[in-house]
Amino acid sequence: MLVNLDPRDARPLYLQIMDEVRRALVVGTLRPEDPLPSVRELAADLAINPRTVSQAYGELEREGIVYVRRGQGTFVAPDARPDREALGRAVAKRALLEARRNGLGAEELVAIIREVAAGEEDREPSRAAANQGERE
């Protein structure tokens, strides 16, 4: 599992860790029963205090996303389901905050996102053809 923390993000580090675990569930890099890095391992990798990782894991456990097997580590709960809507809301809130910091309003941001998305959709057929060629 790859956790990326953004030092410019105003959210506390433990919340960023929690969101990264949720994101990993949505995109499929984490699945039910997968192990998470140990508190010490993740703290060392991120160069942060182990208490921060422990707090994130504790909150995720309270939410039922992970569970602890004493002596073995922390694992994704068997019934953990990705919450795409919650993840989408979190992404939208961050995008809106960043847009406001840069002088853009919500309507302006939505219009730009739609424009960018339309451009991406225009390129999708060429991506599909390229992917098909790779499979053959």
Helix/strand/coil percentages in the chain, nearest 5: 60, 5, 30
| Chain centroid to CA 75 | 17
In tens, the pLDDT along 15-60 reads 999 999 999 998 999 999 999 999 999 999 999 999 999 999 999 9
- How confident is the model at residue 135, as a pLDDT? 47
The mean pLDDT of 54-70, rounded to a whole number, is: 95
- DSSP state for residue 36 in the 8-state scheme: P
**Tokens linked to 133:** 């060629």
Quick one: tokens of 40?
């010490």
Most confident of 50-54, 76-80, 114-118: 50-54
Which DSSP category does 11 fall into?
S
CA 80 to chain centre: 15
Measured at the alpha carbon of residue 132, what is the angle toward residues 24 and 125, in degrees to the nearest 5? Answer: 80
| DSSP letter for each residue of 46-68 | HTS-HHHHHHHHHHHHHTTSEEE
Q: For 86-113, how does the pLDDT look when each residue is reduced to its tens digit (9 = 90+)? A: 778 878 888 888 889 899 999 999 898 8
The SS3 call for residue 126 is helix
Give the tokens for residue 45.
């990798």
Non-local (6+) Cβ contacts of 31 within 8 A are 25, 76
pTM higher than 0.75: no
Averaged pLDDT for residues 73-82: 90
> What is the reported pLDDT for 83?
73
Predicted local distance difference test score (pLDDT) of residue 85: 81
Q: Judge whether residue 68 has pLDDT over 70.
A: yes
CA 125 to chain centre: 27
